[in-house]
Amino acid sequence: MDSFRHVHFIGICGTAMGAVAAAVRERGVTVTGSDENIYPPISTFLESQDIRPISGFRAENIPSEADLIVIGNAIRRGNPEVEAVLNRKLLYFSLPEMLKHFFLLKRHNLVVTGTHGKTTTTALLAWILETAQFQPGYLIGGIPNNLGQGACLRDSKYFVIEGDEYDTAFFDKRSKFIHYLPELVIINNIEFDHADIFKDLDEIQTSFRRLVNIVPSEGMILINSDDKNCRNVISAARSSVVEVGFSPNAGNQIRSMRLEKEGTFFELFGWEFQLPLMGEFNVRNASMAISAAHFYGISFEIIQQALSSFRGVHRRQEIRGEVRKIKIIDDFGHHPTAIHQTLQGLRHRYGSSRIWAIFEPRSNTTRRSIFQNELPKAFFDADGVFIAQVAAADQIPPAEQLNPEQVVREITAQGKPAFYEPNADQIVERLRLLAQEGDIIVVFSNGGFDNIHSKLLERL
């Protein structure tokens, strides 16, 4: 990396892209970048690092002196900056390629994977290693409150990285995690997702099998013992495999879980741990991080200290504000399982308070009809539900689109209020008349959702 003076990021406001851009700038490299969707928290984070993203993609955005271009995985052919890079014969990498060549070689790389829980588990594991004074490098698909940034690319023996199964770039259709030179792999769970690149669950499992196939014999694979799809992908593993979960057959069995107002308590390895986060799914996340830390010899006393002081990740059950004693919570959940588990955790934390769930179908999978039947069930623990219109619906054939009005009809048939409102403003106006003191409003979206959180706080 020391040989590069100026790096330009195309799609800099992707969570990982922005985090790496900031870490590269910390090394004294000039950083520029562009994107078309610029919104908090990543936009404000970049500005705090003195990086000001250019809005929109244009060939002239690429500085003449840039000696490396990093192309985000959401960027496609036809993008004017991509076309300029190819025509000008400039050096370009995908983000995973850049990480592999400049930051991951000869490191002990701890790769956290799975359909759900990757960001929280990666943040927990990085925080445990940080507390243990391992001084790890890390790349996390969110901004952990304890660490203050999603990436730290310092020279260290250890690197903790969130391993996404999504494809690498328009010119490399392998999963990102294939590039990460893993020594330890965590597989939290495996479900169908990313319908724009995977045909079915079998294709996703094939990608995980490829990851398992490159873990060295001296390495370690930790899998969810309660998920048969995880067990299905490790048959050819040449490294040690340990199952972690509630199952009696788990090598690392979670015991004595109890939910209290101040968080969740559970036992692992005969030690009791306290986690300020709520929900069984967060206990699984924490147990994976504990098991990985134990593999590297970190004492249970230090792990206890790290877990009890963990303050979560932006956009994961994050309280954005409170008005009239109504809490507004932001969550990145966009898969039925993640929505269900988050609402379950919030129900435990807030007891009999009314919970309103607002959902924007925005991911490449939830915009499609694939989860048409699963979505109504995901809102079981909510007292009322709002579903917005399908984002960028014109990109999907009408016959393949999710029908949000049908989701609303099915939820209403369950006996709870549910509403289809096309946009954030209409949702806020209707909810303004319904919300009462003491209510909880949780917004599920993997995008900016037209700044709905601030609008709720202003208009309530």
- The predicted-structure confidence for 118-134, as pLDDT tens digits, reads as follows 999 999 999 999 999 99
- In single-letter form, the type of residue at position 37 comes to N
Q: What is the mean pLDDT of residues 409-433?
A: 94
299 pLDDT more than 80: yes
Ranges 12-16, 82-86, 195-199, most confident: 82-86
Using a pLDDT cut of 70, give the percent of the chain over it.
100
The pLDDT of residue 284 is above 90: yes
pLDDT (0 to 100) of residue 305: 98
Tell which residue, 257, 282, 260, has the closest CA to residue 272.
Answer: 257
> What are 313's strand-pairing partners?
144
- Residue scoring higher pLDDT (192 or 243): 243
Residue 107 has pLDDT above 70, yes or no: yes
Task: Name the most confidently modeled range: 270-274, 275-279, 412-416.
Answer: 270-274
Confirm if 91 and 101 have CB atoms less than 8 A apart. no
b/e sequence 7-46, b meaning 16+ C-beta within 10 Å: bbbbbbbbbbbbbbbbbbbeeebbbbbbbeebeebbbebb
**Strand pairing partners for 107?**
none
Please compute the mean of the pLDDT values over residues 434-439 and round it to a whole number. 94
Contacts of range 39-44, beta carbons closer than 8 Å, 24 or more positions apart: 39/13, 39/447, 39/448, 39/451, 40/448, 41/143, 41/314, 41/315, 42/13, 42/14, 42/15, 42/18, 42/143, 43/13
Phi, psi of 54 (to 5 degrees): -85, 130
pLDDT exceeds cutoff 90 at 441? yes
Q: Report the pLDDT value the prediction gives residue 1, as an integer from 0 to 100.
A: 62
d(CA 424, CA 456): 9
pLDDT the model gives residue 192: 86
Which of the residue ranges 144-148, 256-260, 355-359, 442-446 has the most confident prediction, judged by mean pLDDT?
Answer: 355-359
What are the strands of the beta sheet with 240-245, ordered from one edge?
151-152, 137-139, 158-162, 108-113, 182-187, 220-224, 240-245, 252-253
Share the mean pLDDT of the chain.
93
* Per-residue model confidence as pLDDT tens digits over 58-78: 999 999 999 999 999 999 999
Give the pLDDT mean for 113-119.
92
Domain annotation for the chain: domains and CATH numbers: 6-90 (3.40.50.720), 98-308 (3.40.1190.10), 318-459 (3.90.190.20)
Find the range with the poorest average confidence among 18-22, 109-113, 137-141, 285-289.
18-22
pLDDT of 23: 84
Cα first-last separation, the chain: 49
